[in-house]
Amino acid sequence: MPKKYRIVVLISGRGSNLQAIVEACLSGIINGAVCAVISSNQNALGLERAAKFNIPNSFIAKNTNEQKKNYDKHLCEVVRTYQPDLIVLAGYMKILNADFISMFRDKIVNIHPSLLPKYPGLNTHLRAINAKDKKSGATVHFVTEELDGGPIIMQGSVPIFSNDSSEQLSRRVLEIEHKMLVTAISLICAEKIKKRKDTIYFENKKLSKKGISFNHLMEQR
């Protein structure tokens, strides 16, 4: 087994994905430990969750113009002190700037609640329902300068039922998000997933643009 990965998680809110990651680290499913949680929102429930697990947690303020201007630089400095092997955006609602992304190139992953490339950005569930899609899901991908556009590691889908509200769909997708994010991170920390330039390799085999199918992976287990 490779050395234990040092994971920094960036959040903005509830932190249910964070909780799934921490529990999977503690139970040994993920070969890593969450060494810090950083929030863009002072009142994020995820900060309380981190505190309960005694994980260093902080909030970076962006109230004044000066703070706004220096936000990414400050974030970069704070993240760097933890020397992370992996940075996970788990419900992080701020766009990272190019300097941050290039500083931690190939080490940042994001979970997005849609089947990318469909519906990058916000309100994904409502957009999928309005488009009368038959399925939705979530995507774990490497972060590049393109918003929600980096190479896809894994996708998992769930059905959309005819009377679904956006909340109902969001609950169904969240359930798969927790499992999928843990699975993707566990594969990265076991060094079974590698990124070279824009291509992802899973156990040394080139992945298609859609990444690993989480549903297929689960059927095989």
Quick check: 140 binds ligand GRF (CB under 6 A)?
no
Quick check: 113 binds ligand GRF (CB under 6 A)?
yes
Six token digits for residue 119? 């519906």
- Would you state the torsion angle of the CA atoms of residues 23, 201, 197, 137, taken in this order, to the nearest 10 degrees? -50
- Range in contact with ligand GRF (rule: CB under 6 A) among 7-15, 22-30, 34-42, 203-211: 7-15
Q: Which is nearer to ligand GRF, 9 or 79 (CB)?
A: 9
Q: Which is nearer to ligand GRF, 21 or 75 (CB)?
A: 21
Q: Tell me the CA end-to-end span of the chain in Å, nearest whole number.
A: 21
Chain center to CA of 39? 14
Q: Which of 7, 8, 9, 13 binds ligand GRF (CB under 6 A)?
A: 13
Chain center to CA of 112? 7
Quick check: 15 binds ligand GRF (CB under 6 A)?
yes
Concerning whether 141 is annotated as a catalytic residue, the answer is: no
Q: Which of 32, 84, 91, 137 binds ligand GRF (CB under 6 A)?
A: 91
Q: Residue 93 CB, nearest distance to ligand GRF (Å)? A: 7
Six token digits for residue 146? 């393109």
Q: Which of residues 170-189 bind ligand GRF (CB under 6 A)?
A: 174, 177
Question: What contacts 24+ positions apart, CB below 8 Å, involve 190-199?
Answer: 190/1, 190/2, 190/31, 191/2, 193/153, 195/106, 195/142, 195/151, 198/151, 199/151
Q: Which of 4, 6, 16, 70 binds ligand GRF (CB under 6 A)?
A: 16
Quick check: 168 binds ligand GRF (CB under 6 A)?
no
Quick check: 150 binds ligand GRF (CB under 6 A)?
no
Quick check: 118 binds ligand GRF (CB under 6 A)?
no
Number of neighbours of residue 152 by Cβ within 10 angstroms: 21
In the complex, the residues that contact ligand GRF under the rule CB under 6 A are 11, 13-18, 46, 90-91, 111-113, 138, 174, 177
Kindly list the catalytic residues: 112
